[in-house]
Amino acid sequence: MANGTLYHGEKTSKSSRGGALMEVYAGLDLHSTNTYVAMIDGENKVLYKQRHRNDVPAILSALDPFKKDIQGVVVESTFNWYWLVDALMDAGYRVHLANVSAIKQYEGLKQIDDKRSSLWLANLLRLNILPTGYIYPKEERPTRDLLRKRLQLVRHRTSHVLSVKNILARNLGLRMKTYDIKKLTASEVKTLFPDKEMRVAVMSSISLLQHLQEEIDGIEKLLAKKFKVKKEFAKLLTVPGIG
């Protein structure tokens, strides 16, 4: 096969046992620029192993000779799995997203190189002991990613609030509520700090707080128009502290 390595003399998906179909398990070790593709049969014999660039046609071409016998394809849940999982599912493959944190219990079995990592994932699937993660529906991911961005901005906002609180406590022995910090004006800061350097330090955080709040408000307004609570989660909103 071009750009790949086939084993045991197999050039089709027929086994040597009277032409019976094989069971094939594929493991894909995904990286930022390339993916290592490995496949094994039902007896854990290696059928294919090869590194490919992150290109959908190249990866699908590697899987294609075994497609009718592939029982499942495992992709490790990395930061960039969306495009690969979507392409595999669109091509008709049964895809499993490996839950990396849950797999730690088996980490003693894992080797450090990409080839063995791919084979190891495929073997976990073959043995039916692969911990899997949830493949979030494609149409709902933009909303989830926007919520993640909101969370990131909220964390940044909190870091600037804490910075101002620390400056006030360290220099003035003063405690101020978060709400009051967000409302601080340049004239109020000038009254608190005679030193220009300290005023600049505080006002830089105040300015960023205001900008971050505008961005957060914009995201929340957009989500409020689109987001509807699913009936599966409606009861959760009756629990104090969940909203």
Q: What is the mean pLDDT of the chain?
A: 88
156 and 129: one domain? no
CATH number at residue 130: 3.30.420.10
Reported as a pLDDT band with limits 50, 70 and 90, residue 73 is very high
42-66 residue pLDDT tens: 999 999 999 999 999 999 999 999 9
117 and 42: one domain? yes
Q: How many domains does the chain have?
A: 2
More confident residue, 5 or 170: 170
Q: What's residue 2's pLDDT? A: 39
CA quadruple 132, 136, 142, 146: dihedral positive or negative? negative
Residue 174 in any domain: the answer is yes
The answer to whether 25 and 19 have CB atoms below 8 angstroms apart is: no
Residue 93 in any domain: the answer is yes
> 110: closest CA among 91, 128, 123?
123
Q: What's residue 226's pLDDT? A: 82
Of 74, 107, 135, the residue at which a domain comes to its end is 135
156-175 residue pLDDT tens: 999 999 999 999 999 999 99
Give dist(CA 185, CA 71) in Å, integer: 64
16-50 residue pLDDT tens: 444 556 899 999 999 999 999 999 999 999 999 99
Residue 85 in any domain: the answer is yes
CA quadruple 81, 222, 148, 152: dihedral positive or negative? positive
Give dist(CA 46, CA 31) in Å, integer: 21
Tokens 């032409």 sit at which residue? 19
Reported as a pLDDT band with limits 50, 70 and 90, residue 153 is very high
145 and 162: one domain? yes
151 and 187: one domain? yes
More confident residue, 109 or 69: 69
The answer to whether 107 and 76 have CB atoms below 8 angstroms apart is: no
91 and 118: one domain? yes
Residue 200 in any domain: the answer is yes
Token output for 182: 């967000």
Domain around 122: 24-135
89-125 residue pLDDT tens: 999 999 999 998 887 655 555 445 667 889 999 999 9
86 and 172: one domain? no
Q: Which amino acid is at 18?
A: G
Q: Which residues pair with 94 in a beta bridge?
A: none
pLDDT exceeds cutoff 90 at 229: no
Query: How many residues make up the chain in this entry?
Result: 243
Of 106, 135, 164, the residue at which a domain comes to its end is 135
128 and 151: one domain? no
Residue 18 in any domain: the answer is no
The answer to whether 174 and 168 have CB atoms below 8 angstroms apart is: yes
Give dist(CA 92, CA 104) in Å, integer: 29
SS3 for 210-241 is HHHHHHHHHHHHHHHHHCCCCHHHHHHHHCCC
Of 135, 158, 189, the residue at which a domain comes to its end is 135
First-residue to last-residue Cα distance in the chain:
55
59 and 126: one domain? yes
Residue 162 in any domain: the answer is yes
Q: What's residue 15's pLDDT? A: 44
Give dist(CA 207, CA 185) in Å, integer: 10
pTM: 0.76
Reported as a pLDDT band with limits 50, 70 and 90, residue 70 is very high
129 and 150: one domain? no
